[in-house]
Amino acid sequence: MKLIEAHATNYRNIIDANPIAVGQTTCLVGKNEAGKSAFLKALEGLRSTDPTFIQYGKITNYPRRSLAEYDSDNPDGEARVMRTVWQLEPKDREAVAAVLGSDALTGDTIVVQKSYEQANSTWTLSLNQKQVLENLIAAYELTAEDRAVIGDAYTTQKAAEALASLGTRTTAQQTLLDAITKFRSKSAYYQAIDLLDARMPKFMYFSHYDRMSGELSINKLDTDRQNSKETSSGDRVFLDFLEYAGTTLDDLVKTTQFEELNAKCEAAALRITDQIFDYWTQNDELKIKVVLSEGKPGDPAPFNSGPVARARVENSLHGVTVPFSERSAGFIWFFSFLVKFAQIKKSHGNVILLLDEPGLTLHGTAQLDLLRYFYREIAPHHQLIWSTHSPFMVPADDLASVRTVEDVVTSDQRGRKKSIGTKIRADVLTTDPQTNFPIFGAMGFEVTQTLIIGKNTLLVEGPSDILYLQAVSSALKAAGRTHLSPQWAICPSGGIDKVLPFVRLFYGNKLNTVVLTDFERGQKKKLEDLHRAALLDSERIILATEIAGKDEADIEDFFEPALFVDLVNKTYSLKDGHELTVEKLNAADPSTGRLVKKAEAYFRILPAEIPEFSHFDPSMYLLQHPRSLTAKERELKTHWHVLRRPLNASLNSFDLNKRQLRKWAVSRV
């Protein structure tokens, strides 16, 4: 049975939160005090694993500003808090069919809701009660004479009344009556509910996340258990840890030899290290150790006698171990969380997990690890709903599962603010910017990681470089010649001074990165800094000067002057004596060999009605008019040739080097 819709009303700051679709994973995003916790608690109250959470409590939780009008607002009874819709799965239908017949249920969904002052929930399902009675009559083999007494009864209740009124009953009649009597209130409808109720998940809510104790007195725990004394939450997580790792407190208590006891603890530590550190990527050099020793008189009670299990964390990089309790708060939280939730399936079975603001103490990348754990380890076994205001806890690659939570405030005719309560929406980009901030942050991070850059990334200076590369590569492809492989993502870095921060930012992502950048004399120190950082092999830093054969060069210098002049004339429709020629271009600024600088100088002497020269405009024109590269093939020469084998065929062992780039020799496209 799967929850597919939830609708919260009349609870705390929720008046009507809107029905929302619920999937295998659902992420609630909103500001503090928006109503995320209220929604989760309203959902939990429908069917909680907490035995004390039976009723919602209207005095405490009904919207306070409307409490005085409670009776008048709800003249027909109590106010509803939660309405849910559940999708029946084949096994659910089979469970009902085994008792009431295969055609008993006429729908695939059921509705379960709960109101104030209600201990149990109210169910609505589609059941063909007349068909159920027919199925039971056939199953217990009543003859025509046996069933005559039932007459036109169409429910099991009516049939039971008719059978009970008989002074004597046949064996078949008695068997049918006995079967119906076992139904709650002799109702097939209630029986169907009871059958499905046994299969419906409960809600397990977490807002407080217990942290594991660093040490455990085995004798004390055993004594507390024998005296039915409650175990502390931290010790309970430690016991979960031992069980998760393959041993239990009973195993430790029953073991009479120290070496055997120590071996069990070591085995537990090895197993947990392998499992936990699949998800903790902040530091790969850590190992969990469980050290068993006898308590010493100088230690604080109860760790001053008897066997004591102590969890320690070894940092193999530094060659030291420290007590578990002295690790970072984030590590302790993450470790304890994974231990706790690894045991849920064993201890609680079929539950839907409601996690309120998990991972608040974690670094952003650790939150991504936690999110990965959600999808890989929890979601395959349990539906999961969590709330967050962190962009790293928003699944950017699964935005369909995200719901925004907003406390909506409107203004009346006099401009006074009025809250209409929490609203939950699936249209995640239509609420206020503060609510959407975590979503935009998640999307921005995802875009940065996957769209702007790729596993194979060619860094260039700006957008015009991208357009030139795309245009020339397309022309080469159309000519049947080697071209830039589509597996390379071309990303603007903003120039050589921005390359180093960019590479540092994404250095940990193990990207296959190459830099192709413009160069002028004043950038020598920036180039030296880039080489000195040693984040990229020198062969992966390609200057435009090496390709164009000049001391200074931009990507435009890959073109022969005649082709560049032709491109500029077409881009700006220069005419009436303003046409650019190679001679005019060279004369515009003799102090530089860079075609772009010469063009800028030439445009400064043109009439004001002619636009200023821009790097971007010619590149866009070339992309839109690719024939410009072939129209004068015999007259025009270019340094553009091809990113040969390294950029095209050997992505995993990219070796784009200067020598190969010089083979972009003067050639014709």
List, for residues 360-397, the tens digit of each pLDDT value.
Answer: 888 888 888 899 999 998 999 999 999 998 888 888 77
Handedness of CA 536, 538, 540, 544 (dihedral sign): positive
Query: Residues 1, 87: contact at Cβ < 8 Å?
Result: yes
Which two structure tokens, joined as six digits, stand for 217? Answer: 């007195």
In 3D space, the residue among 51, 402, 377 whose CA is nearest the CA of residue 203 turns out to be: 51
What pLDDT, on the 0 to 100 scale, is given for residue 197?
96
Instruction: Output phi, psi for 245, to 5 deg.
Output: -85, 0
The 489-492 sheet, strands edge to edge: 489-492, 456-460, 512-517, 541-543
Q: How far apart are CA 206 and CA 355, in angstroms?
A: 5
Half-sphere exposure of 341 (CA within 13 A, CB side): 29
Q: What is the pLDDT of residues 501-526, one digit of tens each?
A: 667 665 555 667 888 888 887 777 77
Which pLDDT belongs to residue 601?
Answer: 93
| pLDDT tens digits for range 103-116 | 999 999 999 999 99
Which of helix, strand or coil describes residue 50?
A: coil
HSE of 421 in the Cβ direction (CA atoms, 13 Å)?
19
Residue 120 confidence (pLDDT): 93
pLDDT for the residue numbered 448:
54
Any idea what DSSP says for residue 450? I
What local confidence, expressed as pLDDT, does residue 640 receive? 45
Q: What is the mean pLDDT of residues 231-236?
A: 85
| Distance in angstroms (rounded) separating the CA atoms of residues 426 and 32 | 19
> Would you say 623 and 471 are in contact if contact means Cβ atoms under 8 Å apart?
yes
pLDDT at 274 over 80: no
CA-to-CA distance for 422 and 427, rounded, in angstroms? 15
pLDDT tens digits along 546-595: 888 888 988 898 888 998 999 999 999 998 889 999 999 999 999 999 99
Indicate if the alpha-carbon torsion angle 533, 539, 544, 545 is positive or negative.
Answer: positive
Of all residues in the chain, the percent with pLDDT exceeding 70 is: 86
Joined together, the tokens standing for residue 258 give: 């120290």
Considering only residues 353 and 275, tell me which one the structure prediction assigns the higher pLDDT.
Answer: 353
pLDDT digits (tens, 9 = 90+) for 250-272: 877 777 676 776 777 777 777 77
Task: Give SS3 for 31.
Answer: coil
Checking if the pLDDT of 628 tops 80, the result is no
Contact between residue 359 and residue 365 where contact means Cβ atoms under 8 Å apart: no
Closest CA to 514 of 665, 655, 650: 655
Q: How far is CA 418 from CA 39, 386, 413, in A?
A: 20, 28, 11
The order of strands in the sheet holding 202-206 is 202-206, 351-356, 384-388, 25-30, 402-411, 417-425
| Residue with the larger pLDDT of the pair 405 and 249 | 405
Give the angle 578-582-583 at the CA atoms, nearest 5°: 80
pLDDT for 569: 92
3-state secondary structure of 18: coil
pLDDT-derived band at 230, boundaries 50, 70, 90 = confident
DSSP letter assigned to residue 497: H
Give the total residue count for the chain. 669
Radius of gyration in angstroms for the set of CA atoms belonging to the chain, rounded to a whole number: 36
CB 2 within 8 A of CB 384: no
> 507's torsion region: left (phi>0), alpha (psi -120 to 50) or beta?
alpha
| Whether the Cβ atoms of residue 626 and residue 633 lie closer than 8 Å to each other | no
3-state secondary structure at position 502:
helix
Q: Which helix (H) or strand (E) holds 351?
A: strand 351-356
The confidence band for 144, taking pLDDT boundaries of 50, 70 and 90, is very high
Q: How confident is the model at residue 657 (pLDDT cuts 50, 70, 90)?
A: very low
Q: What is the pLDDT of residue 195?
A: 97
Ramachandran quadrant class, 186 (left: phi over 0; alpha: psi -120 to 50; beta: rest): left
Share of the chain above pLDDT 90, in %: 37
Q: Could you read off the pLDDT of 15-73 as tens digits, one per residue?
A: 999 999 999 999 999 888 889 999 999 999 999 999 999 999 999 999 988 888 888 88
pTM, full prediction: 0.68
Tokens matching residue 436: 């959407």
Q: What is the mean pLDDT of residues 474-491?
A: 79
pLDDT class of 432 with cuts at 50, 70, 90: low
**Measured in Å, how far apart are the chain's first and last C-alpha atoms?**
63
513-550: burial string, b at 16+ Cβ within 10 Å, e else = bbbbbbbbeebeebbeebeeeebbeebbbbbbbbbbeb
Helices marked H in 101-212: 129-139, 144-148, 156-164, 171-181, 188-197
More confident residue, 593 or 462: 593
- Rounded Cα distance, 615 and 628, in Å: 17
Report which of 206, 211, 208, 237 is spatially closest to residue 331, judged by C-alpha positions: 211
CB 442 within 8 A of CB 396: yes
CA distances from 662 to 130, 163, 322, 528, 547 (A): 86, 100, 56, 22, 6
What is the structure's pLDDT at 668? 26
Average pLDDT, the chain: 82
For 82, the token pair is: 């939660």
Confidence of residue 636 (pLDDT cuts 50, 70, 90): very low
With a cut of 60, say whether residue 631 has pLDDT above it: no
Q: What is the mean pLDDT of residues 81-102?
A: 96
Spatial separation of the C-alpha atoms in residues 160 and 175, rounded to whole Å? 11
Nearest Cα to Cα of residue 369 among 392, 390, 397: 392
Q: Give the ranges where 286-363 is alpha helix by DSSP (H).
A: 329-342, 344-348
E strand segments, 207-265: 215-217
The continuous run of DSSP H or E covering 659 comes out as helix 658-661
Give me 508's structure tokens.
């940990």
Share in percent of the chain as helix, strand, coil (round to 5): 45, 20, 35
Query: Cβ distance 108 to 87 under 8 Å?
Result: yes
Torsion (CA) 351, 354, 359, 361 in degrees, nearest 10: -120
Assess contact for 11 and 422: CB atoms under 8 A.
no
Q: What six digits make up the tokens of 557?
A: 């210098």
Best mean pLDDT range from 221-235, 308-322, 567-581: 567-581
Residue 647: per-residue pLDDT: 38
